Structure 1
């Protein structure tokens, strides 16, 4: 049984072990699917390149659709990264998104969906980067799983310590605004990894399309945990 199947089996057999990542009521809260591929011609390069315009665009979409959160992104080939040199490489730009984004208001509480410990954290303070980021480590009946939370508020890192115990449904952070979260509209980048590959407070959230199969083996669909 590979790691993906072990994770699916664990989640199926232990539904009570899985908590929330954000506050969400399935019966009343609506989710808005946001498309950041080339198919979305409404979202122009000019809007994406302007922090305030992009934030306004996302907010208007959520309001118009009466949605609490915007959602989407796993293995989405995104054109929005073309505005940031952070995603450029010499041979092939990084465009394939490896996490699920949850777009909402800055200050939105973020929680750990499992018991675990703080693996690492840091402020990746570069335009287009994660900004403040926390990585947790979980032991799911012998299966090691890491969860990553990017684009947080800077105060989310205050008082954290490597190895610190975290409980399921414990609030670990809040969403940052676009002045502190890597210059993005407020949202959470939520990602899962089986192997952290020696990284500390950081792990690629966007990869080259040519490396998709490699990363798919290590990065399972976060929707398995989110359950939206």
Structure 2
């Protein structure tokens, strides 16, 4: 059985876009949300509007269309929400890739899929509107979670619905419907969904890093063919 990495690389030419991006004209900016980023003060992190303005300022200064990054990143930004705190150890390790873009930015399906599940995870700092699609490529089955969407993106969905490659599946949500974050897409590959519906941890304890990264392989293997 081929590995996830082998399957994605072998089928690269069949993978479509996730977000509109022209590599000949558009720029991406890598955003760092670890403790090394000393620009992000508690004041900024505690106010979604200030946080959004900080992201916009960084993108505008770099003349970048989108910000991107985050896989396997140990982040300080989750201190803004009790949703990621546990008694014994807080959850800070990010398991997906984030693409920072304006609310309303369209999201596309990169390959034929079916709807696994969807939900509005409306805790402060959570995913907000969320869609999980199931894929099978060259015999490999896996899921992708699309988080921080608009509530309207959940309209007319049902479990088992077929979504064709290239179809627009969602738009990025504003703060009141995306978990109170600056607008962005959380894109996470999940091998075993473990019985979850419309949700799956996108951030884990650092002590559980090995287990979760094995189940949530690098999304950049998909994104780089249509994005970079």
Could you list the per-position Cα deviations for residues 57-105 of structure 1 after superposition, in whole angstroms to 9, with x for gaps in the alignment? 1011111100000000001000011111000001000000000000000
User: Structure 2 length normalisation: TM-score?
Assistant: 0.97
User: Structure 1 length normalisation: TM-score?
Assistant: 0.97
**1:109 counterpart residue number:** 106
Is 2:149–2:171's contact at 8 Å kept on the other side of the alignment?
yes
For residues 73-222 of structure 1, what are the structure 2 equivalents within 5 Å? 73-222=70-219
Q: Which runs of 5+ in 1 are unaligned?
A: none
Aligned equivalents of 2:146, 2:125: Cα separation in 1: 15
Aligned equivalents of 2:103, 2:45: Cα separation in 1: 18
RMSD: 0.9
Secondary structure of 2:177 counterpart: coil
**2:69 counterpart residue number:** 72
Where does structure 1 differ by over 3 angstroms across 4 or more consecutive aligned residues? Answer: none
**2:55 counterpart residue number:** 58
Could you list the per-position Cα deviations for residues 161-183 of structure 1 after superposition, in whole angstroms to 9, with x for gaps in the alignment? 11110111211000001121000
Post-superposition shift, 1:12? Answer: 2.3
Could you list the per-position Cα deviations for residues 23-76 of structure 1 after superposition, in whole angstroms to 9, with x for gaps in the alignment? 111111100111101000011111010011001110111111000000000010
Post-superposition shift, 1:15? Answer: 2.1
For residues 44-55 of structure 1, what are the structure 2 equivalents within 5 Å? 44-55=41-52
Post-superposition shift, 1:13? Answer: 2.0
Tell me whether 1:19 sits opposite 2:16 in the alignment. yes
Post-superposition shift, 1:111? Answer: 0.9
Q: Which runs of 5+ in 2 are unaligned?
A: none
Aligned equivalents of 2:87, 2:5: Cα separation in 1: 37
Aligned equivalents of 1:51, 1:97: Cα separation in 2: 19
